Amino acid sequence: MILMNLTSRVQHARHWIHNSLRYDQNHDVNTFETTIRMLGGLLSAHYLSTNHPNLAPITDDDPGAPGEDLYIEKAADLADRLLGAFESPSGVPYASINLNTSLGIPSHADGGASSTAEATTVQLEFKYLAKLTGEAEYWEIVEHVMEVVDNQQAEDGLLPIFIYADKGQFRGRNIRLGSRGDSYYEYLIKQYLQTSEGEPIYKEMWDEALTGISKHLITYTKNGKLAVLAERPDGLDHALLPK
């Protein structure tokens, strides 16, 4: 709505956020989905409203005055509740979180393991919130997750799609760029760019993974030589299979 310059609708939304949005709900939510959509949405709204103030401008009588802080206030409240998901023995987040109690909940499937992609696709949001608030804890907690993953020394930078939150170790050997694995690779290069190339480790991890993808997951059709992206459900030393 901000991008479309829908001023009255943004004003209505801000009134609702200020008066009705509460996160003290006794409700279990997915850690990853809540981070990228709710937390990410609030942070994006803050960015747009402060860096592009002429788009759906905030009025003087805005209920969240000082207006540009409303999104951050709600984002910080949500993030503080989500932090409980990271209170596992390894620091890898549990799949779900109760917003009222801030207690992390292991997955009810997959042997209790978390999705590797989900555990490693919350970093941009928490790091940006750390920058905005000056609270280093947000940054350090999600950075630790990446350290746990990197310390597994996965072959050619390709990660199995599940990881145990309690052990900090991968579950199984299924490697693919589809669901449960995809956005881990996406967030490598994005973390590198987010810090204006200030964390070269993520560029190194990205380059290693791209080389690994080319080596292990790409094949070509016999006649047309068309590139095909496949999967290794039993590990890199087993058969390459179509999706």
For the chain, what are the domain ranges?
7-229
Does residue 63 register a pLDDT over 90?
no
181-211 as b/e: b if 16+ CB within 10 A: bebbbebbbebbebeeeebeebeebbebbee
Q: What are phi and psi of 138, to 5 degrees?
A: -60, -45
Buried b / exposed e over 29-49, threshold 16 CB at 10 Å, is bbbbebbbebbbebbbbbebb
pLDDT band for position 238 (50/70/90)? very high
The helix, strand and coil proportions of the chain, stated in percent and rounded to the nearest 5, come to 50, 10, 40
Q: pLDDT, tens digit, for every residue of 120-171?
A: 999 999 999 999 999 999 999 999 999 999 999 999 999 999 999 999 999 9
Give the per-residue pLDDT at 146: 98
Q: Show Cβ contacts of residue 86 under 8 Å, excluding neighbours closer than 6 positions.
A: 92, 93, 104, 141, 142, 144, 145
Mean pLDDT of 45-61: 88
Q: Which among 175, 179, 181, 180 has a CA at the least distance from the CA of 240?
A: 175
Beta-strand ranges (E) seen in 85-207 are: 96-98, 104-105, 114-115, 162-163
Q: What span, in angstroms and rounded, lies between the C-alpha atoms of 27 and 98?
A: 5
Is 7-229 in CATH node 1.20.1640.10?
Answer: no
